[in-house]
Structure formats: C-alpha cells, structure tokens
Structure 1
Amino acid sequence: MMRRMFDEELADLDMSFKEMGLLVSETLEKSVKAFLNHDREAAQEIIDGDKAINEREIAIEKKSFEMIALYQPVTTDLREIVTILKAVSVLERIGDNARNIAISTIHMKGNKRVPAIEELIGREGTEVAKMVREVLDYYVNNDVSGTEKISAEAQQVSKDTNEIRTQSIKAMEDDSEIVETATDYIVVGGYLKRTADYVSDIAEWIIYKRTGKIVELNPGTSSYL
C-alpha cells in the first residue's frame, strides 16, 4: 500500500517537474523573440511571469521534502527525489535567464541593428530551448545515453556564443553608433550560453539518478562567454 502511494506521488512529482521545464523552455523562446523584435510589452509579460516559475519550484521542493519525511526512501528512490530537488533549482535559474533577457529588451537603447548577429542569436535561442525540452525527455525516459548529445550541443552553443561576441566586437569597431546594441548582443549571448551550461547540469543529475555517480559534462567550459 505504501509502495503504491509512493509510486503515485513520485509520478505526480515527475509530471510537475516536466511541466515546469516545458514552461521554462517556452518562456526562454518567447524572451529571445521579444529581444529580437524589440517587443517591450512581451518582455514585461515574461518578467511578470517569472513569479509563477518561482512558485512552481517552491511547490516541487516542498513536495519532495514531504515525500522524504513520509516515506524515508532509500537507494534509487532517494536518488530520484534528490535529482528532482537539484534539477528543479537549475530550471528556476534558466527561468531567471529568460527574465534577464527580457530585462535586456526593456533596457535596450541602441537603434542600429545587425541582422547577421540577430540571426545567430535567434538560432542559438531556438537551440537552447530545444535542449531544455530534450533533457526533460531524457529525465522522464531515464535515458543516460542522451546526455552525450546534450554535451555536444552545449559545446556548439559555446562556439555560437563566441561567434556572437566576435561579430559584435567587430561591429563596434566598424561603427561607434552600434556599441550599445552590440553590447546587448554579447550579454544575451552570454545568458544563452549559461543556459546551455545549466542544461548540461541537469543531464549530469540524470546520470546520478541512473547510476549514483557524479560526473561533470563539458568541464572547463562554464565561463560566462
């Protein structure tokens, strides 16, 4: 009886975690779109909606602690709850990055734009949001093999961010009036790079959930840019 109740509550916890992750992924995509469209109204909606993401994190953490206290799980069951506790805080930080991109949109002052760089940012934003959805599927399916794909994708995002930075610096050198806009490009690229690193962190916790081992994906690539 207790086992069945635990399994049902754990399934609900898994579902809540995935729902929060999908919300975060959608919010991230919207924040990048708002930035590229200079849509301050949409950006403000994202900023206002960050509270809902934070509340989901708190609810999942509360439920996790309650389950540990009530059922006193061990071994694989405990690892699964610990994984959720760790990963949900990472999702919240990804939500913070989406909010920060929205804040950059609100504060953006430069009128001149560089379409080639914005195309890079748009592509990178789509890729990072896709990574969030992928890692959620790997979690639900208990798929450790998928973590290698996440690692490779994070490395590509890092290269794309470096390209955004390189092109932005060149744009500044070529035209002093582009400095403010290009600085925003670098900042947003940094948020996306950091988000890809966070997805790698979730992938590491999936490995822990499955094997009990702590590993580090993409060591030495966690810098801001």
Structure 2
Amino acid sequence: RIGDQAADIAEIVSYIDLSASIHKVHISDMAGATIKMVTDSIDAFVKHDLKLAEEVIQHDDVVDELFCKIKTDVVSLITSNPQSGEQFVDIIMIAKYLERIGDHATNIAEWVVFSINGKHKE
C-alpha cells in the first residue's frame, strides 16, 4: 500500500505546479517526516529494535499535526482563491497520502513491538 500511495503522489506531482504553492515547505516537511518513519520502521523490523519502533510510533503525531496544518490552511486558501481550488485539492490529496504512508509505517512499528514483547497497542 505504501507503494500505491507513493505512485498516487507521483501522478499528482507530474501535473501540479508545487513551486507556486505556499504549502511547499509544509509538504516537504511532511514528506521528510514520513520518509523517516518508513525508513525507521523497516530498520526496526530488520534490526529487531524496540526503541526505534517506539520512536516511529511517537513520530506519527508529527505527521498528523502537519496534515492538520496543511488541511486547515488549504481550506482557507480555497475560500479566498476559488480559482485555484483544484490545485489546493491536489495538495490536500498529497498530504493525505503522506499521512496514510505514515500510518502504515506506524503499523509496521507496532508489529515490531508486538514481535518483541508480545503486546499489541490497544
């Protein structure tokens, strides 16, 4: 699923002009945080690293907060710039795909925790 969502992001990026977007920084920050989560969750799995898995789980809040910030900002922008609404919706879609990828990384990390201590997050 991570690959499918990455492909969906690539499709949107192929036709959207992100350079014109004031959310470029937020999207970049969110992408970086999400990539780190995926990398760390895989590393935690391979290395059987409980601490790293727990850090990934905690880091999910950062990605979720960035998504909420982007969503709130984009809703305001659509209201004030309806002619650019389609581009802003694309930005929301990219952010949502990144948020879901972060959720998948969290799920991997939760399974790492379970495989080490036998406890699954409730």
TM-score (norm 2): 0.89
Query: What runs of 5+ residues in structure 1 fail to find an aligned partner?
Result: 1-92, 217-225
Specify the SS of the correspondent of 1:159.
helix
Shift in Å at residue 210 of structure 1?
Answer: 1.2
Alignment partners' CA distance in 2, 1:201 and 1:126: 18
Matched-pair contact (CA < 8 Å) for 2:57–2:110:
no
Query: Taking structure 1 as reference, are residues 112 and 139 closer, same or farther at Cα in structure 2, changes over 3 Å only?
Result: closer
Shift in Å at residue 113 of structure 1?
Answer: 2.9
Query: Taking structure 1 as reference, are residues 105 and 130 closer, same or farther at Cα in structure 2, changes over 3 Å only?
Result: same
Per-residue CA deviations over 1:54-73 (Å, capped at 9, x if unaligned) read xxxxxxxxxxxxxxxxxxxx
Alignment partners' CA distance in 2, 1:111 and 1:105: 8
Please provide the CA RMSD for this pair.
Answer: 1.9
How is 1:28-47 mapped onto 2 (pairs within 5 angstroms)? Answer: none
How is 1:71-90 mapped onto 2 (pairs within 5 angstroms)? Answer: none
Shift in Å at residue 170 of structure 1?
Answer: 1.0
Alignment partners' CA distance in 2, 1:130 and 1:139: 14
Query: What runs of 5+ residues in structure 2 fail to find an aligned partner?
Result: none
Q: Return the structure number with greater relative CO, CA threshold 8 A, min gap 6.
A: 2
Alignment partners' CA distance in 1, 2:35 and 2:27: 12
Matched-pair contact (CA < 8 Å) for 1:113–1:181:
no
Matched-pair contact (CA < 8 Å) for 1:112–1:178:
no
Q: How many residues align?
A: 122
2:38 is the alignment partner of 1:114: no
- 1:190 matched residue in structure 2: 96
TM-score (norm 1): 0.50
Alignment partners' CA distance in 1, 2:52 and 2:85: 40
Alignment partners' CA distance in 1, 2:19 and 2:81: 10
Amino acid at match of 1:97: Q
Shift in Å at residue 186 of structure 1?
Answer: 0.6
Alignment partners' CA distance in 2, 1:193 and 1:111: 18
Shift in Å at residue 107 of structure 1?
Answer: 5.0
Out of 99, 106, 109, the position equivalent to 2:7 is: 99
Alignment partners' CA distance in 1, 2:18 and 2:44: 41
Alignment partners' CA distance in 2, 1:130 and 1:112: 23
How is 1:196-215 mapped onto 2 (pairs within 5 angstroms)? Answer: 196-215=102-121
Percent identity, aligned pairs only, is 26
Alignment partners' CA distance in 2, 1:121 and 1:139: 27
How is 1:1-225 mapped onto 2 (pairs within 5 angstroms)? Answer: 93-106=1-14, 108=16, 113-115=20-22, 117-216=23-122
